[in-house]
């Protein structure tokens, strides 16, 4: 696995894994269990931590390489595709871009061994308005003491590496800004930091094998050397760290597009094999037009996401352009829901039942206009850019998770 890989090689590996994952996807959904066998396969194939630089054990792959993998995996198993995104974009890419060498060396082995880092931002009163978070980190000597509550934390309880965002306070209580802290939590191996608790899990409509957890921090001690300090310092550091979220958004949009592409393939095969009134239903023009619209939506989404994945933000940024990421994610998520809905319609009652994957795919894809920045927040961000308006949601370059 140490040889240089091309984008086509990554795509080919993903296609092989997708054939293995497709029969398993319904199991994770029905039992609401994390797909550990798939994670092992992804790890063995070198698809976890692809973007981690080679000096820290990764492949140094591009975000474009990742999206080609994600599309293929998402056609078969949305849950596995989401794990690939979280293990290559977002939190881990922020650590690689802004962390110290010691922090990078600390974080990389978790992901390369199959961990999906958990990004801990969202709170009851701080979803899209993330800067209103109430979790605090007060400096006490060479440590920070974290107190607060997070919810809708993807992977909470199964992840081992956590990037916890908090309002930083000096020893005298003076606010310093917002940044993230790296924390290792792994009860299965006896790593249970005092003050770190998983206190609940949401019962979700889709992506049922991925825990969305509630976390509580009660005087959680974190060494000061585990605090990320971007080049612009704490006052502007949160905006820097959220630039990493642009890559995660591209990844989330690609999952939605991949699910839509899978639904399109299912619908195309069904149209060719299903007969009514003595002929294949593929001969009915109304269904042909539905299929053409579905294909156009998938193709347009793919082009926008590829463009965003290859883009760069402001000078010196290693992350995708914020506006391209926002447009692509909002467009792909909106259209994916319509594509999967039309595919289910083509299958009729059969698509509505759980013997076909479309029922699960429909529930899974619905979350992508919500998580990773709601469609409305992202559209507000795009409009604010066009109108040169600084909205609360886009202040300091951030549009929230939802």
**Closest of 313, 308, 335, 323 to residue 382, by C-alpha:** 323
**Closest of 159, 163, 248 to residue 201, by C-alpha:** 159
Q: How many angstroms separate the CA atoms of 18 and 10, rounded?
A: 12
Which helix (H) or strand (E) is 183 found in, with range?
strand 175-184
Query: Token match 């056609």: residue?
Result: 75
pLDDT surpassing 90 at residue 390: no
* pLDDT the model gives residue 399: 39
Contact 58, 43 (CB under 8 A): no
The C-alpha angle with vertex 41 and arms to 38 and 42, in degrees rounded to 5, equals 85
* pLDDT the model gives residue 362: 98
pLDDT surpassing 60 at residue 393: no
Q: How many angstroms separate the CA atoms of 58 and 309, rounded?
A: 19
Give percent of the chain with pLDDT exceeding 90: 84
Residue 198: which residues within 8 A CB-CB, separation 6 or more? 156, 157, 213, 214, 215
If you average pLDDT over residues 321-349, what whole number do you get?
Answer: 97
Query: Token match 């039942």: residue?
Result: 353
Contact 171, 138 (CB under 8 A): yes
Q: Measured between alpha carbons, how far is residue 91 from residues 98, 193, 253, 286 in Å?
A: 11, 20, 17, 45
The upper half-sphere exposure of residue 340, i.e. CA atoms within 13 Å in the direction of its Cβ, equals 30
Backbone angles phi, psi at 206, to 5 degrees: -135, 180
Residue 114 binned pLDDT confidence (cut-offs 50, 70, 90): very high
Per residue in 39-61, pLDDT (tens digit) is 999 999 999 999 999 999 999 99
Identify the three-state secondary structure at position 67: helix
pLDDT surpassing 70 at residue 155: yes
Contact 197, 218 (CB under 8 A): yes
What domains, with CATH codes, occur in the chain?
7-112 (1.10.540.10), 118-226 (2.40.110.10), 242-397 (1.20.140.10)
- What is the pTM for the complete model shown? 0.94
Q: How many angstroms separate the CA atoms of 102 and 110, rounded?
A: 14
């Amino acid at each position: 696995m140490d040889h240089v890989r091309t984008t086509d090689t990554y795509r080919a590996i993903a296609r092989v894994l997708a054939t293995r994952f497709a029969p398993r996807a319904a199991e994770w959904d029905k039992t609401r269990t994390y797909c550990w066998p798939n994670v092992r396969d992804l790890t063995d194939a070198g698809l976890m931590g692809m973007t981690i630089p080679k000096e820290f054990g990764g492949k140094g792959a591009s975000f474009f390489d990742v999206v080609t993998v994600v599309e293929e995996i998402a056609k078969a198993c949305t849950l596995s595709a989401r794990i690939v995104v979280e293990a290559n974009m977002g939190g881990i890419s922020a650590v690689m871009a802004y962390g110290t060498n010691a922090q990078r060396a600390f974080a990389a082995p978790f992901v390369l061994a199959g961990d999906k880092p958990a990004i801990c931002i969202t709170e009851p009163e701080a979803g899209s308005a993330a800067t209103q978070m109430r979790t605090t980190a007060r400096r006490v000597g060479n440590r920070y003491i974290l107190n607060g509550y997070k919810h809708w934390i993807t992977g909470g309880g199964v992840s081992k590496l956590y990037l916890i965002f908090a309002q930083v306070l000096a020893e005298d209580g003076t606010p310093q800004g917002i940044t993230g802290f790296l924390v290792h939590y792994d009860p299965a191996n006896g790593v249970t930091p005092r003050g770190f608790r998983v206190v609940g899990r949401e019962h979700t409509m889709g992506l049922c094998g991925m825990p969305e957890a509630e976390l509580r921090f009660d005087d959680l001690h974190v060494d000061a050397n585990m605090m990320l300090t971007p080049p612009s310092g704490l006052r502007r550091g949160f905006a820097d760290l959220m630039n990493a979220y642009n890559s995660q958004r591209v990844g989330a949009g690609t999952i939605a597009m991949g699910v839509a592409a899978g639904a399109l393939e299912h619908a195309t095969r069904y149209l060719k094999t299903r007969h009514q009134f003595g002929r294949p239903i593929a001969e009915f023009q109304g269904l042909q037009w539905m299929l053409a619209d579905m294909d156009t939506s998938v193709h347009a989404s793919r082009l926008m996401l590829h463009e965003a994945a290859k883009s760069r933000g402001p000078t010196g940024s290693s992350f995708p352009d914020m506006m391209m990421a926002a447009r692509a994610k909002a467009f792909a998520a909106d259209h994916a829901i319509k594509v999967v809905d039309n595919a289910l319609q083509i299958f009729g009652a059969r698509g509505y039942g759980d013997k076909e994957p479309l029922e699960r795919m429909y529930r899974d894809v619905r979350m992508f206009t919500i998580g990773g920045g709601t469609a409305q927040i992202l559209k507000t961000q795009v409009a604010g850019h066009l109108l040169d308006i600084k909205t609360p949601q886009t202040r300091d370059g951030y549009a929230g998770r939802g």
